[in-house]
Structure 1
Amino acid sequence: MPIETEILIIGGGLAGLTAALHLKKLGLEVTLIEKQNYPHHKVCGEYISNEILPYYNWLGLDLSVLKPNQINQLQFTSVDGNSIKTNLPLGGIGLSRYAIDNYLYQVATTRGINIFHGNVQNVAYTNNQFVVDTVDGSVYKAQHVIGAYGKRALLDSKLDRKFIGKKSPYLAVKAHYKSNFANNIVSLNNFKGGYCGVSKVENDILNICYLADYESFKKHKNIDTFQKNVLYQNKNLERIFSEAEMIFEAPLTISQISFEKKEPVLNHILMIGDTAGLIHPLCGNGMAMAIHSAKIVAELLYKYHNGIIPDRQALEKEYTQQWKALFAQRLKFGKILASVLKNNMMENIAMKTVNLFPAMLNKTIKYTHGKPIIASEI
């Protein structure tokens, strides 16, 4: 027998779990499918802007129990040895996906949200209803489906999404380390063909995560050789790696990371988090954006459920408009910033300009970050 629910969320990461918790708080019936067991590590910069804290407080979520690392400064370094440091306007926290995703999952289960483990292979929409099939043969029926399954998945191919057919040049690598790196700094370090984020998370653990050009990467025998030959050209990165001891048995890697434009709504599926759009990691705000998108979709589904939004077409139009208004310019700016930093000459010009006019760095940060997220009074 199919499992029937009002709202089905595909994906149990930050966006999916936050949306589930918000919908449950609003009294809506919600079911979530996640393909992996908790807890698990993910390739991620693991920095969250403090803009999410008012919203999480409203949801009754207390991240302080996870003892996150407090971050209030941003450092940027170039291959040529230049370095800039500034205070972060809102500040943020360092918290691993291993910790926060598992925390949200535990809270969701205690609040009675139905969470199933399975790998979705097909989503069909007919007669104003979704039928969702998983690899293990389970079938779900829902009035609404939220896509929160991350950067890319087999489902994207099934849905024939435009970005999936374009080969991406990017590879991401992440690992945790023991190190004496400063607790209050998130460090962004440019290198030829990519950039690397470094910051502490909970338990005094250092997270190092970098995005690299795959064509450059594959010229080297392995990750260690690539890091020594390419990343170490940035002397700050060489120092960070030489002073750190890896905790993981081996780094985590993902390839085919696409920053191409995605659809916030496709085949009536409401996309949130990285499933709707991925900001370049150097902007450091992907986790907050995922959480914010969950808030938007939950509030609009509540309005639809209560007749404030009259029909599905109006719901999809309103979600698309709100998503673009909040995130489209951030994604565009992120792409521009990434292209500038990939060009050595442009990077040097940018660094010299910021050194002459330090306030420009804070303006740049504001272009990729939002204001504190406050839940709407519905």
Structure 2
Amino acid sequence: MRREVLVLGGGLAGAAAAVHLARAGRDVCLIERTPGPHDKVCGEFLSFEAQGELRRIGVEPRMLGAVPIQAVAVEAGRRRAEAPLGFEALSLSRRVLDEALLAKAAETGAEVRRGARVTGLVRDGEGWSVEVEGQGRIGARHVVLATGKHDLRGWRRPDGRQSDLIGFKAYWHLPNAAEGTVELHLFPGGYAGLEMVEGGLANLCLVVGRAGFDGLGRRWERLLSHVLRSCPGLRVRLAGAEPCEGRPLAIGRIPYGFVQEGSDGLWRVGDQAAVIPSFTGEGMSIALHSARLASSFLLAGRGAEAFQRRLARDVRGQVRLSTLISQALVAPGAQAAAGWLLVPPVLRWALWRTRLPETARRRV
């Protein structure tokens, strides 16, 4: 049987695309390699744009236990700047949010296959043939590629403008919580973000340059000690805290700054289409926007090429600016100059200049 749409990946972008398409009556099959709920390396910050996209789908993050956030703070050494967001953000773990979106996709009529690993993807006439481990080949007219930061073999993305970073994420039981505030802590060679999520846990995410991590013997314990020595504010936050797991989640070669400018015939969404540095908190918004935009183009009979070019226009400027800032935040000698973020008016300017433009959201 040939399917109309195969969605490869059940994260935010993949599940959202499946919802939009199935709701419009299209035949959709979503394939997700993990068999059940799981965590991901993600800052888990839901901007007001992301919240709006979720509500269009029919998912209310507050009902899932999302934690309100009203302010952002940046710390470098003992200097700290704090500014109101100008909107109420929310923080919710991907473990909870992704499952809610997958459930919504199934509810709206998409077939959701869990624990199924895609091992091959090839063109087949005017459509596609997808090899699924243990299930054989599945034909499809359209393929939505939503595998996140992980590439499908044979369909690797080009590197981003800043592809030398390694990302880590760990949850902590935190006695010294900064409720209502997302914090960015700068340390030599990288930066870390801290915010509360549901269940009284704190999400600590950080990125570090590959060379810096190599210099620490590629050991998490040494990296964490290096971060805490350099960040007195974060050291206070984690005093007496207990990690939920012995080891953090990790991901290498994050393709920050990548934007898919054209099409190879696939509908690339989420991090397969654009990867904005995590400190902006706009990654989930872009993923959800890309899913809605791709669905609207597909439903209107417009091609993947037109979609990818339009999405690139929507996000190119924000991704480029954010990547330049991210490069300054980790480069030796440049991090001190990046202290201009510690001026509250400039911090607010950077916050808004890295958001998805309202005009882009309205044009879908």
Q: Deviations over 1:313-363 (max 9, x none)?
A: xx23321232112111111111100122224654434435752xx322222
Q: CA deviation at 1:370?
A: 2.4
Counterpart mapping for 1:155-174 below 5 A = 155=152, 157-163=153-159, 168-174=163-169
Partner of 1:322: 310
Q: Deviations over 1:209-252 (max 9, x none)?
A: 10111221133352122211244212112222224211123211
Whole-angstrom distance in 2 between the partners of 1:98 and 1:295: 22
Structure 1 residue ranges (4+ consecutive) displaced by more than 6 angstroms after TM superposition: 372-378
Whole-angstrom distance in 1 between the partners of 2:333 and 2:351: 22
Partner of 1:96: 93
Q: Deviations over 1:38-91 (max 9, x none)?
A: 21011111111021233322222222221100001000111x321110011223
Please tell me whether residue 208 in structure 1 is matched to residue 208 in structure 2: no
Q: In structure 2, what residue type is equivalent to 1:139?
A: R
SS of residue in 2 equivalent to 1:339? helix
SS of residue in 2 equivalent to 1:218? helix
TM-score (norm 2): 0.92
TM-score (norm 1): 0.88
Counterpart mapping for 1:92-171 below 5 A = 92-117=89-114, 118-153=116-151, 155=152, 157-163=153-159, 168-171=163-166
Please tell me whether residue 274 in structure 1 is matched to residue 271 in structure 2: yes
Q: Deviations over 1:13-60 (max 9, x none)?
A: 011001111111222221111111221011111111021233322222
Whole-angstrom distance in 1 between the partners of 2:297 and 2:69: 33
Please tell me whether residue 337 in structure 1 is matched to residue 325 in structure 2: yes
Partner of 2:280: 283
Q: Is contact 2:263-2:305 (8 Å) kept?
A: no
Equivalent residues, number: 361
| Aligned Cα root-mean-square deviation (Å) | 2.4
Partner of 2:249: 252
Q: Is contact 1:174-1:251 (8 Å) kept?
A: yes
Q: Is contact 1:292-1:373 (8 Å) kept?
A: no
Whole-angstrom distance in 2 between the partners of 1:377 and 1:215: 42
Give the 3 Å change call, closer, same or farther, for CA 216–350 of structure 1 in structure 2. closer
Whole-angstrom distance in 2 between the partners of 1:322 and 1:275: 15
Whole-angstrom distance in 2 between the partners of 1:182 and 1:18: 31
Q: Is contact 1:39-1:99 (8 Å) kept?
A: yes
Whole-angstrom distance in 2 between the partners of 1:148 and 1:19: 9
Whole-angstrom distance in 2 between the partners of 1:75 and 1:269: 39
- Gap regions ≥5 residues in structure 2: none
Please tell me whether residue 219 in structure 1 is matched to residue 207 in structure 2: no
